[in-house]
Chains A and B, each alone.
Chain A
Amino acid sequence: MMDQERPITDDDLHALVDGVLDAGRRPAVERHLAAHPEAAARVAAWQAVGASLREATEWKVREPVPARLDLARLLEARRRARSWQPARLAAGILVALAVGAGSGWMARGPSMPTGVAAVAMEAASVHRMFAAGAEYADPHDAAAMVELTSWLSRELGHPTRPPNLSKSGFHLVSGQLVATDQGPAGMYVYDGANGLRITLFMRPMKERDMNAPMRPMHGADTVGYVWARNGLGFGLVASTPMRTLHGLANQIRDDMGAQI
């Protein structure tokens, strides 16, 4: 039979050791081992090595599973990360409103800004409080970043990554969800050379300006660009005028559109 005449290879020896050798092949392999003591010793050693490996690692499967790997707990953590948490954002709401009211935007008219003008005001407030200020919280809060990214992905309706600005010399330092009087919003903070820090602010638009062309924004102590696309408003803010800011805003607009 052809199968028995084929030369014996390592594959046959492994199959024998692992108990998956074809029954028709077995006599030929056994004859080979009987005639070649070195091959037989090799197979025996492989079997012994396997048994030792199983014995030496057996305790690990018997060890109680630590609580942090408990599925119910992981599911609960996942559910919490996905749901909106007003309590966590309460402080952010107060901050954004208080600063917004005193920021100089109010001086231009009796009514609150709407549409992308409101986005501009909120972006400036958030930048001032969370990014430019010294009270800026945990710059490496991974949980907050995950929460933000999944929120943003839901808002955009597709998986979304923070824009990569590294080619322009800016790297992402943090991201988090913040609250405005218009509802939840997201912010990414980037650092560049010379201590320049910029904030990308995003939130869903309400009724007005679902799409709005990019335009510059100027606050009392902030500069930036604001635009809206497909129902999501964006503000890119810096504390001091930067020649590269317009280019960065264009890149982000194209990037967030291209991730679809």
Chain B
Amino acid sequence: MSALASLEENIPSLRRYAWSLLRNASDADDLVQDCLVRALDKLGSLRAEGQLRPWLFAIMHNLYVNRWRHTKVRAEVSAQDAEAEVSMPPAQQASSEMRDIMRGLDTLPPDQRQVVLLVAVEGFEYAEVAAMLGVPIGTVMSRLSRARDRLRDFVEGRPQPILRRVK
């Protein structure tokens, strides 16, 4: 398969990841577009084609960190609005479970959100995520623990740790 065809094959999952991070369809596709333009520019420098997918997500991560962090404010504001459903599938029966998990995701700090999405949704290996984010693997694992525990607390209706009373 040509590098371009593999690139094309990854666009849907890049869109899913960008949307899950930013929770705004238009911002997400802006991010994907920037990522694709950058990838087309740098495609020649990619040595192993098997590395295309983590390479693409690494490009997207760098763009997100450098230029898109400010949009998380918007996502967090809309997440606080319990009725805001702009970023859920349109005309589709989004179950209450689906809404809950996405609201829970929105409460996570970006660092944790990235890791849990890359591992649990995009299926990357821990070492790949560490390389992509430029952090040690131990950092990936601790973020993953915090993210998974926090999402569990959220969907099981437990108060968030920050609000929990200490007896």
Contact = CB atoms under 8 A, between A and B. Distances in A.
Interface of A: 10-11, 14, 17-18, 20, 42, 45-46, 48-50, 52-57, 59-63, 65-66, 68-69, 71, 74-75, 78
Contact of A56 (B15, B37, B41, B98): B98
Contacts of B7: 71
B36 A61 contact: no
Contacts of A68: 29, 33
B19 interface: yes
Contacts of B155: 45, 48-49, 52
Contacts of A74: 33, 36-37, 40
B74 interface: no
29 contacts: A10-B141, A14-B126, A48-B155, A49-B120, A49-B155, A50-B148, A52-B97, A53-B101, A53-B121, A56-B98, A56-B101, A56-B102, A57-B19, A60-B12, A60-B89, A61-B12, A61-B15, A61-B16, A63-B15, A65-B15, A68-B33, A69-B11, A69-B29, A71-B4, A71-B7, A71-B8, A71-B11, A71-B36, A74-B37
Nearest to B7: A71
B133 interface: no
A11 B115 CA distance: 14
Given A14-B145, A45-B152, A60-B15, A69 B36 contact: yes
A57 B36 contact: no
Nearest to B94: A56
Interface of chain A: mostly helix, strand, loop or mixed:
helix
B19 A60 contact: yes
A18 B8 contact: no
Interface of B: 4, 7-8, 11-13, 15-16, 19-20, 29, 32-33, 36-37, 40-41, 89, 92, 94, 97-102, 105, 116-117, 119-121, 125-126, 141-142, 144-145, 148-149, 151-152, 155-156
Given A59-B89, A60-B16, A65-B12, A53 B144 contact: no
A235 to B, nearest CB: 31
B141 to A, nearest CB: 5
Q: Which 8 A-B pairs have the closest CB atoms?
A: A56-B98, A50-B120, A52-B101, A45-B152, A60-B16, A61-B12, A59-B89, A49-B151
B33 A57 contact: no
B37 A78 contact: yes
Contacts of A56: 94, 97-99, 101-102
Nearest to B145: A10
Given A53-B121, A57-B16, A11 B101 contact: no
B63 to A, nearest CB: 14
